[in-house]
Each structure stands twice: as structure tokens, then as C-alpha cells.
């Protein structure tokens, strides 16, 4: 089957519908139609690296009305392996998740390893048994198709920060060659490929990459290489410059961004999708998100605090449990602590995206962002939690 035929058939399985653009910003609301359901945008995707959202069952995510989750090709490739998951009927059946799944290509995980070798063939690294493993564009796509991902990410090199111009130029050329190999390896039209735009902190290279990647006419596109230590200002610079260059009729995805302030920023610049481990990883450490900022529930001040985590939240946790009880669970090292904290944090992020969407449809995103930040307050953001979940 030719790539032209695959792209034509893919349009029967995957479609982005742009519903409205805010009159005062670039923020936009839409719907992504996938084989496993529709996804209202903007959307935040919880991360289930190994095919599971830590501390939650799939039915709890359904109760929270989560339309899509993210899993990781690198980890699932190593264990249990694509052959086993394919034999089980694909990742949806394997993990009993009936809604959409996006899979990362594995590139970020490989390139974050200290010991790896980047070659034209792909990336070589050692697994836990010390065996040398090659992850190539072809293997990444083959694995993602075995998983049955609704959205597959192209295999690319995640450019670190800082990076010199010669490094970025060489890396981009290889990423574009790898993208063509990913497309050539694509055989399942129901599994959509998103291309990834790199370029570091250099506008000229971001522009070159947009032109190269978007020339492939893929179902969607992502901005990669942000939230890698460059800080909020340079992140916004990259997103605000790159997003308007991307096609308006395709989903726009910023990879690995998860602080509430940063979500507001990317949505304001017209981004539709994002993911991050922050809400789930922070939850297991006792950090809970509220409309008034983060609550570190282990603090002694909450020992006799019988208010809900967030009085304005309507999630199951806030309706039924107090801060004092959550602190008690964490102090007692109870598994329920992680379950309830994760449930609340995912509900907070879901509500944030839903409220942003409503504000966009009503042309009041600027006021929504201002009101949110006024109540949420200022806090230091760190990328320390972003390495692995």
C-alpha cells in the first residue's frame, strides 16, 4: 500500500474539527475524532508510561471523563514486548482501556539515557540485562502499530538544552530522514502518525523544521524539545513562534508540558494537546493542585484541617474526604493516599481544560487566564519531576 493510499484511508479514521478560535487570542477549541472516540480540545493527557496510570484503574479514568491517555513505546518495547501485546489484542484490550491512546515514540526516553549511541540506523542503548538494544524509526512504528495506538509519534531526536547551532542543524537533518523512514514503515491507516517539530531555542531552525515536517501532510504535528530545562520564558518563545506556523486544520500538540501556568500559555498560543507526568507523580508525593495553588498535604498544618482539598472542586475526593484524612493516609503510608491524591489531581487538570475550552468558545480566554492566575498565585516551576514516572 502506498503512502498516498494510507493517508487517504487514514482520513476515514482520524479527523480534526476546528470549532472556534478565541477573538482576542490564538486559543482554539476543537474535536479530534479517533477510532476510539472523540477528544474535545484543548485536552490534557494523563501519562500511563507502562500501559497504566499509576494508582488508578481504567474505570476510574472513565468516571473522570478522560478521553485519551499516553503510553510509552520505549518501555512497552522492552517489557512485555510488542509481540505479546499484539497477541493480547493490542494495548486497548491488554489494559482494558476503551478510549484513545497516544504513544510516544520512545525518543525522549532513549535520548535522556546517559549511555546511548546515536547512529543513522537509530539509537543504541543497553537494557536492564545489559544487552545492547537498537530502537530505530522502523522498530518504533512497528511497535506502535502492534500496540494499536490511535496516535503514533514519529521517532526523532529530542534536542537537549542548551545546544549549539551546528548540533541543532545536524540533529534536524537526521530527524527529517528518520521521519521519512517512519512514514515508509507505516502500514496501518487506523493508527495516525504525528510529526515532531524540533529546533531548540532557535527560531530559524524551528521554521525550517515546520516547513520540512508539515510538507509530509501528516494527520497532526507536535512541538518537541521544550520543557527540557530551558525555563518558562524560552519555552514560551519557542511555542509562540512555532505554533502560528503550523497548519490550522491539524491538531497541535506540545509534548511534556504540565504546570498549570504553562498549560494556559500553550493554550493561549493555539495548542490543542499536551501531556505530562506532573499531576500523577506529584500526587504520589503528596502535592495536590487546587484553584488556590498547590497544597503539600503532608505539612503538619493539615493535621486538623477538615476542609476538602479544594472547596471549589466537585471530584469524588473533595466531596467525601478532608485534608486531615489525606494527611493521615500519607503519614500512615496507606495505598489509598496515592489513589485519592491522583484522582483529585487528574480531576483538577480535566476541569482546567474543560473550563478553558468553555472560555474559548465564549471568547473570554484572556479573562479566564487572568482570573485563574490571580487565584492560583505565583509559584516556582521545576522540571525535576519530568524525567520519569
User: What's the rounded mean pLDDT across residues 90-103?
Assistant: 98
Separation of alpha carbons 308 and 169, rounded Å: 51
pLDDT at 128: 77
With cut-offs at 50, 70 and 90, classify the pLDDT of residue 387: low
Other beta carbons within 10 angstroms of residue 216's beta carbon come to 17
310 is catalytic: no
Of 162 and 383, more confident? 162
Report the predicted TM-score, pTM, of the whole model to 2 decimal places: 0.96
What are 286-335's pLDDT values in tens digits? Answer: 999 999 999 999 999 999 999 999 999 999 999 999 999 999 999 999 99
With cut-offs at 50, 70 and 90, classify the pLDDT of residue 106: confident
Inform me whether the pLDDT recorded for 169 exceeds 80.
yes
pLDDT at 323: 98
With cut-offs at 50, 70 and 90, classify the pLDDT of residue 140: very high
What are 204-261's pLDDT values in tens digits? Answer: 999 999 999 999 999 999 999 999 999 999 999 999 999 999 999 999 999 999 999 9
Tell me the domains of the chain and their CATH numbers. 3-272 (3.20.20.105), 283-364 (no CATH)
314 is catalytic: no
pLDDT at 112: 77
pLDDT at 388: 62
Of 68-82, 91-105, 125-139, 191-205, the one with minimum mean pLDDT is 125-139
Inform me whether the pLDDT recorded for 386 exceeds 70.
no
Inform me whether the pLDDT recorded for 384 exceeds 80.
no
Strand-pair partners of 253: 222, 273
What are 46-84's pLDDT values in tens digits? Answer: 999 999 999 999 999 999 999 999 999 999 999 999 999
Candidates 156, 272, 275, 389; catalytic one: 275
Inform me whether the pLDDT recorded for 135 exceeds 80.
yes
Axis crossing angle, helix 232-242 with helix 260-268, rounded to the nearest 10 = 20
Q: In degrees rounded to 5, what are phi and psi of residue 125?
A: -155, 170
Of 192 and 131, more confident? 192
Inform me whether the pLDDT recorded for 131 exceeds 80.
yes
Inform me whether the pLDDT recorded for 389 exceeds 80.
no
If phi > 0 it is left, if psi is from -120 to 50 it is alpha, else beta; for residue 368 that is alpha
Inform me whether the pLDDT recorded for 344 exceeds 90.
yes
pLDDT at 379: 80
Q: In degrees rounded to 5, what are phi and psi of residue 293?
A: 110, -175
Inform me whether the pLDDT recorded for 385 exceeds 60.
no
- As a whole-number percent, the residues of the chain with pLDDT over 90 amount to 90
Whole-number average pLDDT of the chain: 96
With cut-offs at 50, 70 and 90, classify the pLDDT of residue 116: confident
With cut-offs at 50, 70 and 90, classify the pLDDT of residue 129: confident
Candidates 22, 104, 156, 389; catalytic one: 104
Inform me whether the pLDDT recorded for 109 exceeds 90.
no
Do the bridges between strand 273-276 and strand 287-290 make them parallel or antiparallel, or are there none, so unpaired? unpaired
DSSP per position, 30-71: EEEEETTEEEEESEEEEB-TTSS-TT--HHHHHHTT--EEEE
Separation of alpha carbons 175 and 178, rounded Å: 5
pLDDT at 279: 98
Question: Half-sphere exposure of residue 221, counting CA atoms within 13 Å on the CB side?
Answer: 26
Amino acid at each position: 500500500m502506498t503512502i498516498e493510499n494510507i493517508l487517504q484511508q487514514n482520513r476515514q479514521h482520524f479527523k480534526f474539527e476546528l470549532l472556534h478560535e478565541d477573538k482576542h487570542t490564538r486559543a482554539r477549541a476543537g474535536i479530534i475524532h479517533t477510532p476510539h472516540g472523540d477528544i474535545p480540545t484543548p485536552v490534557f493527557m494523563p501519562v500511563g508510561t507502562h500501559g497504566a496510570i499509576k494508582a488508578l484503574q481504567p474505570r476510574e479514568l472513565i468516571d473522570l471523563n478522560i478521553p485519551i491517555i499516553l503510553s510509552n513505546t520505549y518501555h512497552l518495547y522492552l517489557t512485555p514486548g510488542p509481540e505479546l501485546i499484539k497477541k493480547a489484542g493490542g494495548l486497548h484490550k491488554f489494559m482494558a482501556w476503551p478510549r484513545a491512546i497516544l504513544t510516544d515514540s520512545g525518543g525522549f526516553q532513549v535520548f535522556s539515557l546517559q549511555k546511548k549511541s546515536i547512529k543513522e540506523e537509530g539509537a543504541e542503548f543497553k537494557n536492564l540485562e545489559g544487552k545492547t538494544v537498537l530502537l530505530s524509526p522502523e522498530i518504533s512504528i512497528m511497535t506502535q502499530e502492534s500496540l494499536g495506538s490511535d496516535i503514533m509519534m514519529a521517532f526523532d531526536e529530542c534536542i537537549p538544552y542548551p545546544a549549539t547551532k551546528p548540533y541543532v542543524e545536524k540533529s534536524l537533518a537526521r530527524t527529517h530522514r528518520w521521519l521519512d523512514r517512519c512514514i515508509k514503515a507505516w502500514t496501518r491507516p487506523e493508527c495516525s502518525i504525528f510529526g515532531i517539530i524540533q529546533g531548540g531555542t532557535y527560531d530559524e531552525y524551528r521554521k525550517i523544521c515546520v516547513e520540512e515536517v508539515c510538507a509530509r501532510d501528516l494527520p497532526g504535528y507536535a512541538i518537541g524539545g521544550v520543557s527540557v530545562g530551558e525555563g518558562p520564558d524560552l519555552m514560551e518563545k519557542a511555542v509562540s513562534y512555532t505554533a502560528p506556523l503550523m497548519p490550522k486544520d491539524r491538531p497541535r500538540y506540545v509534548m511534556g508540558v504540565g504546570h498549570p501556568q504553562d498549560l494556559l500559555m500553550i493554550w493561549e498560543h493555539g495548542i490543542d494537546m499536551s501531556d505530562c507526568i506532573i499531576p500523577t507523580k506529584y500526587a504520589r508525593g503528596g502535592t495536590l493542585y487546587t484553584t488556590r495553588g498547590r497544597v503539600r498535604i503532608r505539612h503538619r498544618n493539615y493535621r486538623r484541617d477538615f476542609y476538602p482539598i479544594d472547596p471549589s472542586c466537585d471530584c469524588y475526593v473533595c466531596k467525601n474526604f478532608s485534608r486531615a484524612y489525606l494527611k493521615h493516609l500519607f503519614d500512615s503510608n496507606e495505598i489509598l493516599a496515592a489513589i485519592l491524591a491522583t484522582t483529585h489531581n487528574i480531576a483538577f487538570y480535566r476541569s482546567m481544560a474543560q473550563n478553558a475550552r468553555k472560555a474559548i468558545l465564549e471568547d473570554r480566554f484572556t479573562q479566564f487566564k487572568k482570573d485563574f492566575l490571580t487565584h492560583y498565585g505565583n509559584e516556582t516551576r521545576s522540571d525535576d519531576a519530568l524525567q520519569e514516572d
